[in-house]
């Protein structure tokens, strides 16, 4: 009993220290960002770098302010968000569904595996102009390009999670009479959730990259089109401001996904962080 009480008190202390570490981590992030910006600005002012090539934090901040103050970026931001959202949802639905089918049908998995690998290895940037030719200059070609990146990540991460379920756990569940549906709902899916969430975050990142790259190839609107415009007039500060917008957008969406993951995977919290 004493050992159990000691273990519980150690876990409580670990939980409190985790909260304290979160504040320290946030402070460290702010300090790192401030140091990076100071070094960047200092390198330009001291002549170690040319502002014409890397701009300055002050110039980038000014470009960000002008983009939002003048409202120039809002329609393009809306277009890019729509493309990312559609591609992400399609990648998640078809990726998870395909993984479930391939996991339950080993013969089909063996047949399709080399073809999936071949399709996934194709350079999407080279295929971008073809997608524009096939699906037009609108959002459809950007969605297809982003989907072609996100789908395979979602498929492989989900399939990996489903294939790595503890076999002893499956055996015990079958011995207790669990049906295939119950096995999937209560064993396979919860076990695969960490891999699925890792795939969701990567899928979001690659769908965002695919949408912006597609817009840079040919588009009517979007952040990628703005990037091409600013690059064409050698507006380095504007280019970096747009890159920051894309990065902040993906960071925000990923943070929301991390929050959802923590809420859904409460059962696994602390499973590998037991204090010694």
Q: Find how far residue 248's CA is from the centre of its chain.
A: 12
Mean per-residue pLDDT for 22-43? 86
81 and 14 within one domain: no
At residue 9, does pLDDT exceed 70? no
Instruction: Work out the angle at residue 41's Cα, subtended by the Cα atoms of residues 36 and 42, and round it to the nearest 5 degrees.
Output: 95
SS3 content of the chain, % helix, strand, coil (to 5): 85, 0, 15
The count of C-alpha atoms lying within 13 angstroms of the C-alpha of 174, restricted to the half-sphere facing its C-beta, is: 8
Mean per-residue pLDDT for 226-254? 88
266 burial (CB, 10 Å; 0-12 / 13-18 / 19+) is exposed
150 and 127 within one domain: yes
Assigned domain for 88 exists: yes
231 and 95 within one domain: yes
What is the count of structural domains for the chain?
Answer: 2
Q: How sure is the predictor about 275, in pLDDT bands with cuts at 50, 70 and 90?
A: very low
Q: How far apart are alpha carbons 248 and 127 in whole angstroms?
A: 27
Q: How far apart are alpha carbons 243 and 216 in whole angstroms?
A: 13
225 and 99 within one domain: yes
- Domain residue limits at 107: 54-268
144 and 8 within one domain: no
User: What is the per-residue pLDDT for 83?
Assistant: 93
Q: Return the percentage of the chain with pLDDT > 70, whole number.
A: 84
119 and 42 within one domain: no
pLDDT digits (tens, 9 = 90+) for 136-148: 888 999 999 999 9
Contact 169, 191 (CB under 8 A): yes
122 and 38 within one domain: no
Q: What is the pTM of this model?
A: 0.80
| Domain CATH code at residue 89 | 1.10.3720.10
pLDDT digits (tens, 9 = 90+) for 179-226: 667 777 677 777 788 888 888 989 999 999 999 999 888 888 888 888
User: What is the per-residue pLDDT for 152?
Assistant: 93
Q: How far apart are alpha carbons 109 and 240 in whole angstroms?
A: 43
Contact 197, 160 (CB under 8 A): no
């Amino acid at each position: 009993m004493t050992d159990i009480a000691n273990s519980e008190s150690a876990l409580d202390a670990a939980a409190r220290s985790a909260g304290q570490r979160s504040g320290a981590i946030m402070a460290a992030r702010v300090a790192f960002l401030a140091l990076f910006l100071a070094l960047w600005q200092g390198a330009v002012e001291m002549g170690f770098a040319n502002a014409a090539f890397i701009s300055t934090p002050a110039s980038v901040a000014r470009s960000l302010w002008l983009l939002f103050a003048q409202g120039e970026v809002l329609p393009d931001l809306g277009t890019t968000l729509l493309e990312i959202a559609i591609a992400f949802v399609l990648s998640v639905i078809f990726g998870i569904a395909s993984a479930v089918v391939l996991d339950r049908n080993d013969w089909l998995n063996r047949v399709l595996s080399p073809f999936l690998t071949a399709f996934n290895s194709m350079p999407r940037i080279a295929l971008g102009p073809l997608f524009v030719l096939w699906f037009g200059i609108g959002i459809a070609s950007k969605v297809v390009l982003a989907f072609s990146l996100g789908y395979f990540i979602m498929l492989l991460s989900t399939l990996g999670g489903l294939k790595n379920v503890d076999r002893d756990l499956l055996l015990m569940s079958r011995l207790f009479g669990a049906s295939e549906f119950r096995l999937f709902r209560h064993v396979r899916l919860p076990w695969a959730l960490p891999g699925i969430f890792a795939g969701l975050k990567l899928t979001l990142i690659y769908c965002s990259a695919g949408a912006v790259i597609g817009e840079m190839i040919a588009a009517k609107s979007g952040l990628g089109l703005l990037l091409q415009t600013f690059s064409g007039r050698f507006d380095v500060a504007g280019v970096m401001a747009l890159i920051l917008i894309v990065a902040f957008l993906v960071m925000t969406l990923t943070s929301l996904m991390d929050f959802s993951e923590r809420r859904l995977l409460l059962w696994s919290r602390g499973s590998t962080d037991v204090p010694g």
